[in-house]
Structure 1
Amino acid sequence: MVTPPLPAVRGRLTPKAPLSPLVWFKTGGPAEWLFEPADVEDLAGFLAALDPATPVYPLGLGSNLIVRDGGLPGVVVRLGKPLSYAKVGDDGTTLVCGGGTSGILVSSTARDAGIAGVEFLRSIPGTVGGFVRMNGGAYGREVADVLVDCTVVLRNGRIATLAAADLGYTYRHSALPEGAIVVAATFRGTPGDPAAIGAEMDRIAAEREASQPLRSRTGGSTFKNPAGHKAWALIDAAGCRGLTRGDAQVSEKHCNFLLNVGNATSAQIEALGEEVRDKVKAQSGVTLEWEIQRVGVEA
């Protein structure tokens, strides 16, 4: 556990900060400390001075995340407005973005500048830091296809720039150093017509709205697609559509989504996910792998 005093900061440090309002499921316990840095240098200085044994966890929009009911020990780092920006590069086809920037802002900035190729980021419910780490993707494209490089603050406070080739990208995975926090990234697109780019973004948004329970308390896509399979189809075939545990439910609209339909606990949501994995394994022989991150301690 963290023992005050913590290193001095220019941003905001909050003890015993509730995390449930910050995650999409609206469940889970508090952070021992929540740190919202003023800028990259504030974060770097804090991590350099922080006891190396103190756990540090970066938090984006809280979409693909279950925070367990006992909360998170150590320090949760949330990149706010100072690190939420998207700027067009000097060459006119790159976008320089802060680690706290939403996929919607990245893709909208690209559209307005006539940069094609990053429309799919419109559909990723997270921030640059999260989808760079996870190689987020949708509609046939992924971050590995468009990332030039990223800037990270390592756990020891050192700032480093890593090329996309250094990240060892595979499906929904990167070899980003343990404890590294992505504070900026550069994406490359191609010249395009803003109207055509906007139309593609609208198509993606409409398709998501039609097929996914976007207006529910959910964590997004729950399990990775196994090689040669679609996770939702395996879950459906195992009879899990609409399955419940307390107020946790497998979505009837898209059964690779778990929902909090009332006052579910994180424990109920996670247990429901494990029940789905067991049923799919028994029915198909396929072991589903969690895509949603599960962090913290049980109550």
Structure 2
Amino acid sequence: MIVLATSPSHLIDQLPKPRGRLTADAPLGPQTWFRTGGPAEVLFRPADTEDLAAFLQALPEEVPVTVLGVGSNLLVRDGGVKGVVIRLQRGFTGIRVDGQDVIAGAGALDLNVALTARDHSLAGLEFLSGIPGTIGGALRMNAGAYNGELSHVLMAAEAVDRAGAVHNVGPAEMGFSYRHSDAPMDWIFTSATLRGMPGDQLAIARRIAEIDAARTDSQPRSRTGGSTFMNPPGHKAWELIDQAGCRGLRLGGAQVSEKHCNFLINLGEASAADIEALGEEVRRRVYEKSGVLLQWEIRRIGEPASSGHGVEG
């Protein structure tokens, strides 16, 4: 175990001592795709599932717990995140194949799972190559893209709850719906078993290449959090945003992408407050124009800090 210590009054000194790594006041902004936001009071990188379960079992109930993936669909507010932020890295990124099943750690990148399935001539998981996140995040939000979603391929999932108990569940117990799972919010997913089907490796590779080309053509490759708002029933969020005149709209260092207006981008110096306020302004304008209230798809966590910029555009 590695502990980066600070003053005796810091939360880190009150925590159980795991085999993994504890870091006080760890910057989170650089670990997110937006590249902005405040620090974690304590960041915990568990060594494995047993280490995570033992730590949670011994953790005082009053200490808040937040889970961080690769930060692709996440906005960390400028005041940072209180309590313990858990990031599953080494020990949770492995991927193996057993027949038609792909067993992946929750920290494994969705893209790497798709590529592993390709290498074993397993079809049906190509859509994961178009989702910029980890399997743990995909489980939590029933991630989907390019005519596929996790609920279509999940066979089993493993999770650890806030009390340190380990749960093994099937898809029926996940309560999947559009971009949502009914799994308890205190569950931290640690692995998933996904079912592929035998396919032609070249055809699978072509499909992954098509998805990559479609993303390159339609989505900005910049400091962004991916799709900002969920598609409302019967609508496409980007069309509503465009119709409301929000394409290119700016607030401080944040902007609605000119390329795909359901993406917010950090132009370089945006605060998390800039990005969140811009998103709320987009919601306001869309509602005023169409009567549709957009719902955030990007997860926003942490404490706000004061800011003050005007909207341009």
Is the pair's TM-score, using the shorter chain for normalization, greater than 0.5?
yes
1:86 is aligned to 2:92 = no
1:11 is aligned to 2:20 = yes
Q: Deviations over 1:133-164 (max 9, x none)?
A: 10000011110000011000101000110111
Distance of 1:3 and 1:100 partners within structure 2: 24
Identity %: 56
Report the Cα offset of residue 2 of structure 1.
3.8
TM-score in terms of structure 1 length: 0.98
Provide the secondary structure at the position in 2 that maps to 1:47.
helix
Distance of 2:188 and 2:121 partners within structure 1: 30
Q: Deviations over 1:153-182 (max 9, x none)?
A: 101000110111101101010011121110
Provide the secondary structure at the position in 2 that maps to 1:219.
strand
Identify the residue that residue 41 of structure 2 maps to in structure 1. 32
Distance of 1:291 and 1:232 partners within structure 2: 13
Distance of 1:295 and 1:176 partners within structure 2: 19
Over 3 Å counting, the alpha-carbon distance change for 1:3 and 1:60 in structure 2 is closer
Identify the residue that residue 58 of structure 1 maps to in structure 2. 67
1:212 is aligned to 2:214 = no
Distance of 1:42 and 1:197 partners within structure 2: 37
Asked if 1 retains the 8 angstrom alpha-carbon contact of 2:12 and 2:22, the reply is no
Distance of 1:142 and 1:114 partners within structure 2: 19
Report the Cα offset of residue 3 of structure 1.
6.3
Moved over 6 A (4+): none
Among candidates 263, 272, 275, match of residue 278 of structure 2: 272
Amino acid at match of 1:283: K
Among candidates 152, 155, 163, match of residue 148 of structure 1: 155
TM-score in terms of structure 2 length: 0.93
Give me the CA root mean square deviation. 0.9
Provide the secondary structure at the position in 1 that maps to 2:179.
coil
Amino acid at match of 1:101: A
Report the Cα offset of residue 132 of structure 1.
0.7
1:240 is aligned to 2:249 = no
Distance of 2:116 and 2:185 partners within structure 1: 30
1:99 is aligned to 2:109 = no
Q: Deviations over 1:225-253 (max 9, x none)?
A: 00000000000000000000011000000
Amino acid at match of 2:205: G
Provide the secondary structure at the position in 2 that maps to 1:223.
coil
Distance of 1:179 and 1:246 partners within structure 2: 35
Among candidates 198, 205, 211, match of residue 205 of structure 2: 198
Q: In structure 2, list runs of 5 or more residues that go unmatched.
A: 1-9, 306-313
Among candidates 256, 261, 271, match of residue 255 of structure 1: 261
Distance of 1:280 and 1:126 partners within structure 2: 28
Provide the secondary structure at the position in 1 that maps to 2:14.
coil
Q: Deviations over 1:45-104 (max 9, x none)?
A: 000000112111111110111100000000010001211011101xx1110000100011
Asked if 1 retains the 8 angstrom alpha-carbon contact of 2:12 and 2:24, the reply is no
Provide the secondary structure at the position in 1 that maps to 2:33.
coil
Amino acid at match of 2:91: P
Identify the residue that residue 181 of structure 2 maps to in structure 1. 174
Distance of 2:253 and 2:143 partners within structure 1: 28
Distance of 1:14 and 1:190 partners within structure 2: 42
Distance of 1:189 and 1:39 partners within structure 2: 26
Distance of 1:277 and 1:5 partners within structure 2: 41
Provide the secondary structure at the position in 1 that maps to 2:222.
coil
Provide the secondary structure at the position in 1 that maps to 2:235.
coil
